[in-house]
A and B are shown apart, each in its own frame.
Chain A
Amino acid sequence: MTPVARHQSIFLMIMRRLRAPLILLIAIISVSVLGLTLAPGPLVDGRPEYMSFFRAFYFISYTATTIGFGEIPHAFSDQQRLWVLLCIYMSVIGWAYTLGTVFKLLSDRNLQQAIALMRFVRAVRRMSEPFYLLCGYGETGRMICQELDRRGYRMVVVERDETRAGEIDLSSYAADVPALAANAGNPGTLLHAGLTHPNCIGAIAVTDDDDANLAISIAARLLAPRLPVLARARTRETAANMASFGTAHIIHPFMALTDTLALALRAPAAWRLLGWLTGLPGAAPAERRREPPRGPWILCAYNRLGRLLLKTLDDSKLPVTIIDPAPRIDSEHHWVQGDASGAATLEAAGIRAAAGLAICTDSDVNNLSIAVTARELNKEVFVLLRQNHFSNRPLFNAFASDLNAVPSEIIARECLTILSTPLLAPFLDVIREHDEQWCAWLLERMTRRLGARAPETWSMRINLSQAPALYQRLMRGETIVLDQILRSHANRYEYLACETLYMVRDNDDNLVIPAASTPIRPGDELLLAGRPGARNAFDLNITNEHALTYILTGRDLRGSWIWDKLRQRGAKGARHSPR
């Protein structure tokens, strides 16, 4: 493991700062005690009685700390009282100085940061479950964090902004999420946050700063080469840079959006199938989504996203009119200079004849204003609406655009898909290769079986850790087909609400929508889609010997070794006895 700079001991740091007040306190108390033993006390048998060190120290201890039990053991002489008077004032000053220094020290920012860092490092070091290292807790980070937490994963968060990092303590996550307010681009911070921790299973770089994301990717590449890294890139250049040193997954929200649009224009059925499979829980049902029309389009704002969309529309050979406040830059397309939120500008761009409208300015208020005006002028127009801030969601929901582009949501969805279902990405590539007819048939079949709402998709491998019961039976040489394990363990004549989409085998013999009679082999990887709840039932089928025996044979196991043995003996006895 790479050495992490050990933080200096907090206790020694405090003691160093408290040196002066403590020495003063020791001096005051020792002088007081000494004086008290020397001061003559009241006369006993004609001779003054002196206090012993023990009694003097006892008296000074309770007087200096303002407890004040009184004059113990006897009433004092006036000489003693004179000295005690001095002691009281000296000790009050000593204590006030000490306490003042302690409180000043505790409210010291550097000390607080040192304590926070120490706690964070300790919490990360004690992580005994697999966890993800999430850098950046903005809108995207929060969405990913919530979803991963819901799915039962642990996380460690590094966020530069202190207020946002503090928000994590107030959020109601099921598991404890250690968070540190620091710059994630710093390799030292990443090491503190557990980049090289044996339980770290992935780093997610979704800060709003491309440089930081780049720094995290390269740090992970060098310090933890086998760790999968998901990095967000704002620009094409950053994406190319990340790709150059082998970052596992680069997420460019605008390119993801334009890819989706291109697919929708080229192959609507594949687009629908894709949307159904990758939708977040609660997304709109597949058949209610309108597909982007082929016809004249209007593009509002010629910016980064605008140019990417323009290229996509050009590739599909659709006529595009651009509305932008700037004078004409692009000579190939029809260009209307002006503010798109005005009806006159939209009219000039030909809104009444347009089939589609892509609104992608940087301001959410402007985007909504354009969208509302355009809908009034043309009810049928397809609206692609860019939403910059997740917090404006209620407004965008109320408008109901045909395609809502929320960069933070796109990134979150991509991240979650990659993390939870690694087989989904290859399967989506398979979908893109198939023709329209096949996609339409598959979507029809799946939605009839699993409902129109987005299903839960998951992938798993038939091995000892993920499917112990099934794996052991397969290793014993039994032949088990898919159809047998996709049944309910409550009633084996009922099927679970899930389907196998993809089967990846070691010898590249990959099966798309494998037939129910396909025999399962050890080491197979399966991609499944099902209704919520089906996953748990399926997991029980393949991990629990009792459930598996029941769905395969219809017999209930006794659930104990002794009963099993008795049952076997009984069966043998019955076989040998003469008829």
Chain B
Amino acid sequence: MNFEKVIFGFFILLAATLNFGFFIGALDNPVLHDIYELFAAIVVSLIATMLKFGDRTQIGAIHLATSLVADLQLLAAALVWGHAAHILGSDPLAPAQMARVVSLSGGAFLANAVSVTILIAETIMQRR
């Protein structure tokens, strides 16, 4: 067992699960989507991106690309949230605004799901 691989798998999986946790629930209901969960998802996703740097294989490149997509979507979601809360001044968020944030995080979840799929496929390919 390789400890580096454990860390790598841990962060990729955690990024996906946190993202899923934030995304699940009715799109426009602010009660079902916690801001701390979004924050954790962003931080873990950023760390996962950093871990993926430096692998020069084709699979490594796809890994990095999925992470970059997830980062972009999650940061966009956070920006929309910040804009709604501070600049438009609606606290808690209106259902329409909440739906926008959650749908962006849904896109990020798809990217994270691809990332996890690649991770599993890679593991199965190695057969040891």
Contact = CB atoms under 8 A, between A and B. Distances in A.
A55 B91 CA distance: 14
Contact of B43 (A16, A18, A30): A30
Interface string A26-38: 1100100110010
Interface in A19-54: 19, 22-23, 26-27, 30, 33-34, 37, 52-54
Contacts of A52: 82, 85-86
A55 B81 CA distance: 13
A34 B53 contact: no
B86 A16 contact: no
Contacts of A30: 39, 43
Interface string B78-122: 100010011000000000000000000000000000000000000
Given A26-B46, A27-B47, A53-B78, 12 more contacts: A8-B56, A12-B56, A19-B50, A19-B53, A22-B50, A26-B50, A27-B43, A33-B39, A52-B86, A53-B35, A53-B39, A55-B86
B27 interface: no
Contacts of A27: 43, 47
Nearest to A15: B53
Contact of A12 (B43, B53, B78, B82): B53
Contacts of A16: 53-54
A13 B53 CA distance: 9
Interface of A: 8, 12-13, 15-16, 18-19, 22-23, 26-27, 30, 33-34, 37, 52-55
Nearest to B53: A15
A54 B50 contact: no
Nearest to B45: A26
Interface in B61-87: 78, 82, 85-86
A6 to B, nearest CB: 11
Contacts of B86: 52, 54-55
Q: What class of interface size applies to chain B in its complex with A? A: 10 to 19
B71 to A, nearest CB: 11
A12 B57 CA distance: 12
B51 interface: yes
Contacts of B56: 8, 12
5 contacts: A12-B56, A23-B47, A26-B43, A27-B43, A54-B85
B51 A23 contact: yes
Given A33-B39, A52-B86, A54-B86, A19 B51 contact: yes
Nearest to B78: A53
Nearest to B39: A53
Interface of B: 35-36, 39, 43, 46-47, 50-51, 53-54, 56, 78, 82, 85-86
Contacts of A26: 43, 46-47, 50
A33 B43 CA distance: 11
Given A26-B46, A27-B47, A19 B54 contact: yes
Contacts of A12: 53-54, 56
A30 B36 CA distance: 11
A52 B78 CA distance: 12
B39 A23 contact: no
Contact of A15 (B46, B54, B82): B54
Contact of A23 (B50, B78, B85): B50
Nearest to A38: B36
A455 B46 CA distance: 71
Nearest to A26: B46
Nearest to A31: B43
A54 B47 CA distance: 20
Contacts of B53: 12, 15-16, 18-19
Contacts of B82: 52-54
Contacts of B35: 53
Contacts of A13: 54
Nearest to B79: A54
B119 to A, nearest CB: 18
B41 to A, nearest CB: 11
> Which of B35, B47, B78 has the most chain A CB within a 10 Å cutoff?
B47
B20 to A, nearest CB: 20
A301 to B, nearest CB: 58
A117 to B, nearest CB: 18
Nearest to B48: A23
Contacts of B54: 12-13, 15-16, 19
Nearest to A27: B47
B47 to A, nearest CB: 5
Nearest to A21: B50
Contacts of A19: 50-51, 53-54
Contacts of A23: 47, 50-51
Closest 3 pairs between A and B when the two form their complex, measured CB to CB: A16-B54, A30-B43, A54-B82
B31 to A, nearest CB: 18
B40 to A, nearest CB: 8
> Which of B39, B43, B53, B82 has the most chain A CB within a 10 Å cutoff?
B53
Contacts of B39: 30, 33-34, 53
B83 to A, nearest CB: 9
A53 B56 CA distance: 36
Contacts of B43: 26-27, 30
A33 B47 CA distance: 16
Contacts of A55: 86
A30 B40 CA distance: 8
A36 to B, nearest CB: 12
B57 to A, nearest CB: 12
> Which of A8, A16, A55 has the most chain B CB within a 10 Å cutoff?
A16
A99 B106 CA distance: 36
